[in-house]
Amino acid sequence: MSSAHPNTAGAAGTPQKKPGLGSMGRQGRNVGAAKRYDSNRGKLRLSKQNRVNWPLTILAAVLSLVILVPLYFAVVSSLKDNATIGGFELPKTWNWGNYAQAWNMVNYPHAAWTTLLITVCATALTLVSNTFVAYAIARNMDRPFFKFLYYFFIAAMFVPFTVIMLPLARQMGWMHLDNQFGLIVLYTVLGLGTNLFIGVGFIRSIPVSLEEAARIDGASTWRVFWTIVFPLMGPINATIGIMTVLWVWNDFMLPLIILTNQQDSTIQLSQYVFSSQFNTNYPVAFASYLMAMAPVLIVYIFAQRWVVSGVMRGAVK
């Protein structure tokens, strides 16, 4: 006869105790308490997410009013006449003729076309040059020359334009570049510091392993750049392009000191030239300013997300 282990026999012979009503009650209370705790935590998270940050909201509202109130005043004033201008109330008679008069006095079609041509060319040249230079610097930051070049362009961002304004104007005159072509070149060079700061930071965030894998497959540096790096730079190039468009279109100082031919005047410079005609007709002046501002305002409204996201991606590695 084989004898079983005493502990085994005892375990097999001893009947299993069923949980009593007290233990089941305690388990039920524990489960209920856990559910209530999770529910309270969920409500707390929702309340924190839905909580309004009133100081920042009030600050944003005040800053918005600082911009919107002058814009509203300009729009309302452009539809009045000299007898009723000066208040914030809506005009009793909407004088749309102010826009037609400003259109003719500023020669808006010619000035707008000139500004558009300079803006498009400067933006295209900026994107091409910045893309090549940013890629070369980002992939060679361990070399002293490229590191010096990067910080040299970054340092140029902190030089006030008024310091180099007059020497720059004289230099462009000596080189016979006091025309639209010279203006396009200046926009490209003067914007290189800021654009490189954004572009280099973005390219350095692209994994080098992607380029190394392409080189293992036999791709040259030129092919790696155009097939891998350049497509990935789409968001940052869109940001740089939009920022350049806004800067070139709205700029007044560079055309004023560089352009010598009145036929080359941009829309901002044309308004300045004809400002003497607006001395006693402020509604026409406001209409002219709004027409000059409208194109870039529309562009920025639809493209502002590219500007914000691109700057954040380029500035933070």
- Block mean pLDDT (10 aa), the chain, length 317: 44 48 51 52 53 81 86 88 80 86 87 94 95 93 92 89 90 91 94 91 89 88 90 88 91 91 87 70 86 84 68 51
Output the CA torsion 259→264→265→267 (10° steps): -140
pLDDT at 157: 86
Give the helix ranges, DSSP H, for 79-143: 97-105, 108-138
Tell me the pTM: 0.74
pLDDT at 278: 57
Q: In whole angstroms, what is the distance from residue 212 CA to residue 201 CA?
A: 19
206 CB burial (10 A radius; 0-12, 13-18, 19+) = middle
pLDDT at 2: 43
DSSP letter (8 states) at residue 19: P
pLDDT at 186: 94
Asked whether the beta carbons of 300 and 242 are under 8 A apart, the reply is yes
69: amino acid identity, one letter: V
Q: Which DSSP helix (H) or strand (E) runs through 217?
A: none
58: amino acid identity, one letter: I
pLDDT at 307: 63
Provide the residue ranges of all domains of the chain, joining segments of one domain with +: 29-78, 98-315
pLDDT at 306: 65
pLDDT at 263: 84
CA–CA distances in Å: residue 213 to residues 76, 95, 210: 60, 65, 5
pLDDT at 145: 94
Architecture of domain 98-315: Orthogonal Bundle (1.10)
